[in-house]
Amino acid sequence: MSSQNSLSDQNLSLDETAKNMTSEAKIITRNLDFFYGDFQALKNINTQIDAHTVTALIGPSGCGKSTYLRVLNRMNDLIEGAKVKGEVLIDGQNIYDKKLDINELRKNVGMVFQKPTPFPKSIFENVAYGLRVNGMTENIKERVEKSLQQAALWNEVKDHLKKSALGLSGGQQQRLCIARTIAIQPDIILMDEPTSALDPISASQIEDLIMELKERFTIIIVTHNMQQARRVSDKTAFFYLGDLEEYDETPKIFESPASEKTQNYIRGKFG
């Protein structure tokens, strides 16, 4: 029994190394349509997102970029009248399959929200929360510490882990939310305008963090900040009125976009 366990552990770590070595399709959407009731928010979206890359989603408000983000962890399921058509594959598996365990999916696809949302609990318990609800009861202390270190927050909070998380500054709260997300070791992290509620210094700390986290995670970030998209992302997707107008390497999008709409948007002509 125990030998079997260690064998599967080995396989797992081999798998992970393989993932790290090759750039492969992590997320694929095929003919993805999304509806809020009668309103079509996404129209025939075809994308492929590779592992260990940062993808920026840009576009004017209401263009569908947040909807697309929330398709990937099925957060839209909570909205009444929401409907998905087409295919969304993560690691080759259709995440809208009826047999899929949605909590397992969300454990694998973490999310950081626009407004920092620490729970009204201690700093420690905030990070431990995801571990506890997912039944990871071993080495909680070590995992919390490691996650806080990875989120570049450990040095600031290590002496008052028992204090309420609500006493932290906005930037610290957002890094806490990132620590909370990476504690359960997802493959993918979705970020919905993670710095728009923060001051410039906190925002740049988060940006640095995103670039570090890329080593271990696949990151998709919605942003209204063009400079930010340019700085942190490998690929950029420009959404417009529910269409994926353009999707390419970030330098290409910002220097020589194919679409006139993209060009007008990134030059600030509308938005």
Partner 1 sequence: MSQSKQQKQTIVFTTFMVITVLVSAISIGVFFYIFFNGISVLSWGFFTGVPENGMTEGGIFPAIMGTLILIVGSGLVAFPMGILAGIFMNEYAHQNWFKKFVRLMTNNLAGIPSIVFGLFGMAFFVNGLGFGVSILSGCLTLGVLILPIIIRTTEESLKFIPDDYRLASYALGASKWQTIWRVILPAALPNIVTGVILAIGRVAGETAAILFTVAAYFLPKMPTSIYDETMALPYHLYVISTSGTDIEKARPYADGTALTLLMLVFGLNLLANWYRKRLNKKIKV
Q: Is 173 in the site for partner 1 (CB under 8 A)?
A: no
Q: Is 78 in the site for partner 1 (CB under 8 A)?
A: yes
Q: Is 195 in the site for partner 1 (CB under 8 A)?
A: no
* Residue choice 119, 231, 243, 263 for contact with partner 1 (CB under 8 A): 119
Residue given tokens 């399959």 in the structure block: 97
Q: Is 150 in the site for partner 1 (CB under 8 A)?
A: no
Are 28 and 89 contacting, i.e. CB atoms less than 8 angstroms apart? yes
| Cα separation, 13 vs 223, whole angstroms | 33
CA dihedral angle for residue 101, residue 181, residue 115, residue 203, rounded to 10 degrees: -140
Q: Which helix (H) or strand (E) holds 198?
A: none
Residue placing its CB nearer to partner 1 in the complex, 105 or 210: 105
Judged by CB under 8 A, which stretch of 9-17, 88-96, 106-114, 197-205 contacts partner 1? 106-114
Contact string 34-73 vs partner 1 (x = CB under 8 A):
---------------------------------------x
Judged by CB under 8 A, which stretch of 34-42, 144-152, 161-169, 237-245 contacts partner 1? 161-169
Total residues at interface with partner 1 (CB under 8 A): 29
User: What sections of 22-153 are H helices per DSSP?
Assistant: 65-71, 102-108, 123-133, 140-150
Q: Is 133 in the site for partner 1 (CB under 8 A)?
A: yes
**Number of residues written out for the chain:** 271
Q: Is 181 in the site for partner 1 (CB under 8 A)?
A: yes
Indicate if the alpha-carbon torsion angle 105, 108, 109, 115 is positive or negative. positive
Q: Is 18 in the site for partner 1 (CB under 8 A)?
A: no
111 three-state secondary structure: strand
14 three-state secondary structure: helix
Q: Which helix (H) or strand (E) holds 181?
A: helix 170-183
Residues of this chain that interact with partner 1 (CB under 8 A) are 73, 75, 78, 103-107, 110-111, 113, 115, 117, 119-121, 129-130, 132-134, 163-164, 166-167, 177, 180-181, 184
